[in-house]
Amino acid sequence: MLESRLGPSSLLRVPAGAVVADVLRDAIVEGRLRPGDRLKQEDLMQYFGVSVGPVRESLRTLESEGIVVSAARRGYLVSDVTLEEVEFLLPIRLVLEQAAFTQLQQTLDEDVLRALRQRIEEIRDGASNNSIRQVNEADQAFHEAVVLSCSRSPQAVRLWRLIMPRVRMLFNMLTPMHRTLSAVAQEHEILVQAVESGSQILLQTELDKHIRTQPQTLLQAKIASPGH
């Protein structure tokens, strides 16, 4: 089961706990490992070809990030993203990105704007390929380009990176609920236009809609859908 979700282990050298955590994190946030899936230490040891130490280290790391949970008599499970958590996390992300986007609006750094337009093209390519993974990777890269280039505080960047694994899980859940995948590119084009407009009110309005309001609305619709 693990090989079908993580890829062939022959491609990996014997990894340390950090590398095991990286592989598992990517599989979780991309949806190859689903909420509720059990992560058995014995299976992970066999798949990665390591002792129990690196496996336990990786699971503790992922637990500290909130993307796995430990359950009595069941071991470690992939955690779910709840509406309550989204209502807590998204305002934090909004504050961090508002500061970075405002700085970009003031400087209109052409290198950053060029990078954002390239990420939008990558989102469009992903939509054309009907690839949710490609869309989500370009989506994150778009926001990362702004945060890394325009945040004035290293602490803000660290906090943004800390919450992003959970946000990436949210991306994976909600991207299929957009009217079309190409709509994701349009949303990011609107953000660039708001930056270039020079209107701080317009920028803050579009960021709030993109980062907080729309994901909450989509998640509420998903929770209310039959069979959830």
With CA atoms as reference, report the closest residue to 48 among 57, 61, 60: 57
pLDDT of residue 120: 98
Q: Which domains does the chain have, with CATH numbers?
A: 2-78 (1.10.10.10), 83-224 (1.20.120.530)
Backbone angles phi, psi at 39, to 5 degrees: -105, 95
First to last CA, the chain: 24
With CA atoms as reference, report the closest residue to 41 among 63, 26, 8: 63
134 vs 123: CA distance, rounded Å = 7
205 vs 200: CA distance, rounded Å = 8
3-class state of residue 198 by DSSP: coil
Query: pTM of the full predicted structure?
Result: 0.78
User: Of 40-49, 71-80, 106-115, 132-141, which gets the smallest average pLDDT?
Assistant: 71-80
Mean pLDDT, residues 10-20 taken together:
65
Cα maximum dimension of the chain: 56
- DSSP string of 153-196, one letter each residue: -HHHHHHHHHHHHHHHHHHHHHGGGSS-THHHHHHHHHHHHHHH
With CA atoms as reference, report the closest residue to 123 among 166, 187, 168: 187
Query: 164-167: which pairs have CB atoms within 8 A and are 24 or more residues apart?
Result: 164/140, 165/25, 165/28, 165/29, 165/65, 165/66, 165/67, 166/65, 166/66, 166/67, 166/81, 166/85, 166/89, 167/89, 167/90, 167/93
> Is the pLDDT score of 15 beyond 80?
no
The helix-helix angle for 41-48 and 17-29 (nearest 10°) equals 110
Burial of residue 165 (CB within 10 Å: 0-12, 13-18, 19+) is middle
Bigger pLDDT: 155 vs 82: 155
Per-residue model confidence as pLDDT tens digits over 45-66: 999 988 999 999 999 999 988 8
